[in-house]
Amino acid sequence: MISRTVLLILIGSALVTWIPRITPFVLGKMVKFPAILSRFLGYLPLSILFALLLETVFNSKVGVVPIPKVDVVLALIPTVITAVALNDLMKTVVVGIISMAVVRLII
Name the residue ranges covered by the structural domains of the chain: 69-107
Q: Residue 106: is its pLDDT beyond 70? A: yes
Q: Give 74-104 pLDDT, tens digit per residue.
A: 999 999 999 999 999 899 999 999 999 999 9
Q: Which residues contact 91 (CB under 8 A, 6 or more apart)?
A: 82
Which residues pair with residue 67 across a beta bridge? 59
Q: Give 10-63 pLDDT, tens digit per residue.
A: 999 999 999 988 888 888 888 888 999 989 988 988 899 889 889 999 988 888
